[in-house]
Amino acid sequence: MRVLVCDPVKNVGIEMLREAGFEVDVRPEITPDQLSRVIRNYDVLIVRSRTKVTRQLIERAERLKVIGRAGVGLDNIDVEAAEKRGITVLNTPEAPADSTAELTIGLILALARKIPSADKSMKEGRWL
């Protein structure tokens, strides 16, 4: 099976696909026109938020079986068009869990240390 990765994805994911026996092409800078010309050669498409998977693109995807979104939402994929063609659409809703937790802890610490009000007062020329 041939996999096309259209957006930046961590190398560990790419290596896992290759170790599982997939032929993986990584083209994170592919343009919509280029993608439209080559999509017919792939069984799996992996995107993040940059690549828009439109109805027109899906119609050109003769072999496509799976569209994987390395991220939470599916707003950049025409899910209805994919489902009509029998293409499975997947995402990774747990992907941002670590960074969300880290941001939450950071914001709690910032509030506990009153960093937002200190920043505001400094910008107003006051040293409190």
Given a cut of 90, is residue 76 above it in pLDDT?
yes
Structure tokens at 2: 């041939």
Q: Which domains does the chain have, with CATH numbers?
A: 2-95 (3.40.50.720), 96-128 (no CATH)
pLDDT at 95: 74
Q: Tokens 């961590």: give the residue.
A: 10
Q: What is the pLDDT of residues 32-73, one digit of tens each?
A: 999 999 999 999 999 999 999 999 999 999 999 999 999 888
Given a cut of 90, is residue 115 above it in pLDDT?
yes
Q: CA 43, CA 22: separation in Å to the nearest integer? A: 10
Q: CA 50, CA 6: separation in Å to the nearest integer? A: 8
Q: Judge whether 12 and 18 are in contact, CB under 8 Å.
A: no
Q: Judge whether 7 and 51 are in contact, CB under 8 Å.
A: yes
H helix intervals, the chain: 11-19, 32-38, 55-60, 79-84, 97-112, 115-123
